[in-house]
Amino acid sequence: MAEDKEFPSQQQERPGHEGEMEPEPQDEMRGYTGSGKLDGKVALVTGGDSGIGRAVCVAFAKEGADVAVAYLSEDDDAKHTAGLVEAEGRRALTLRCDLQQEDECRRIVRETVDGLGKLDVLVNHHGTQTPVDSPEEITTEQWEGTFKTNVYGVWWTTHEALKHLGEGASIINTGSVNGIRGNKELIDYAATKGAVHVLTFSLAQALIERKIRVNCVAPGPVWTPLIVATFPTEKVESFGQQAPMQRAAQPDEIAPSYVFFASEQLSSYYTGEVLAPVGGETHPG
């Protein structure tokens, strides 16, 4: 019934633009007050132009970090995010890139270090998904593209970042509730997010002696441009209502999880963790 819809019917071409969403996501951290938890740090956030990525960039800036914003093609969204970072008195760098390409993944790390002087926090937040009605719909092209973006891109960016990350650094990957319990409509996406979770575990073990922490945030339903760019209108209208809280999260509600993992003050004893803000859904194990 119409009165049960949280979001009006809408759909966009990939990758989706925030200014065209109704309602626009809450991702500017307007009610958030920082306390210097990331003073003097430099962060690179992939997929930082909008949604959770934007909220993370702004939260980091409010905590004292300079931020490089990597994005695919959403120039206006990325410019807006950079403006929000700079409004907090921090430096911002925008990096247009295609993270299905190894050289692009490595380039944005180098340009972050060249432009902002160093790298302390890497947030691998970029990702893509394509819903299907049956497994047979997934072509080899789709399968490879999803893995190239969601797994290879994370690995290549991390691999390059390890040349610059020192003691006390933090790597934060974005996983998904779908990587925990699967999703029949997002088969390849769920598989990539499961891979990201295990990559997080493995890298945490490998880097612990170097005192580089590696953690993961695995959100449930969140109102971002990815939703209107990949789901059919009927799915958009009821998006998030399956969660026990009966609603999708706003990006501003998820970003503090990234601040927690980025800050040594808050999470010095955490590595190899997957934190799942999923609106009340519980999982075994």
pLDDT at 3: 35
pLDDT at 235: 65
Q: Which CATH superfamily is domain 2-24+34-275 in?
A: NAD(P)-binding Rossmann-like Domain (3.40.50.720)
What is the Rg, in whole angstroms, of the alpha carbon atoms belonging to the chain?
18
pLDDT at 95: 98
Q: What residues does each domain of the chain span?
A: 2-24+34-275
Give residue-wise pLDDT tens across range 46-70.
999 999 999 999 999 999 999 999 9
pLDDT at 22: 61
Q: What is the 3-state secondary structure (H, E, C) of the chain?
A: CHHHCCCCCCCCCCCCCHHHCCCCCCCCCCCCCCCCCCCCCEEEEECCCCHHHHHHHHHHHHCCCEEEEEECCCHHHHHHHHHHHHHCCCCEEEEECCCCCHHHHHHHHHHHHHHHCCCCEEEECCCCCCCCCCHHHCCHHHHHHHHHHHHHHHHHHHHHHCCCCCCCCEEEEECCCHHHHCCCCCHHHHHHHHHHHHHHHHHHHHHHHHCCEEEEECCCCECCHHHHHHCCHHHHHCCCCCCCCCCCECHHHHHHHHHHHHCHHHHCCCCCCEECCCCCCCCCC
Please say whether the beta carbons of 76 and 17 come within 8 A: yes
pLDDT at 25: 74
Active site residue 189: yes
**pLDDT by residue, tens only, the chain of 285 residues:** 233 446 655 455 656 555 565 667 789 999 999 999 999 999 999 999 999 999 999 999 999 999 999 999 999 999 999 999 999 999 999 999 999 999 999 999 999 999 999 999 999 999 999 999 999 999 999 999 999 999 999 999 999 999 999 999 999 999 999 999 999 999 999 999 999 999 999 999 999 999 999 999 999 988 776 666 665 666 666 666 688 888 888 999 999 999 999 999 999 999 999 999 999 988 765
pLDDT at 4: 42
Q: Which of 152, 189, 258, 269 is catalytic?
A: 189
> Max CA-CA distance within the chain?
55
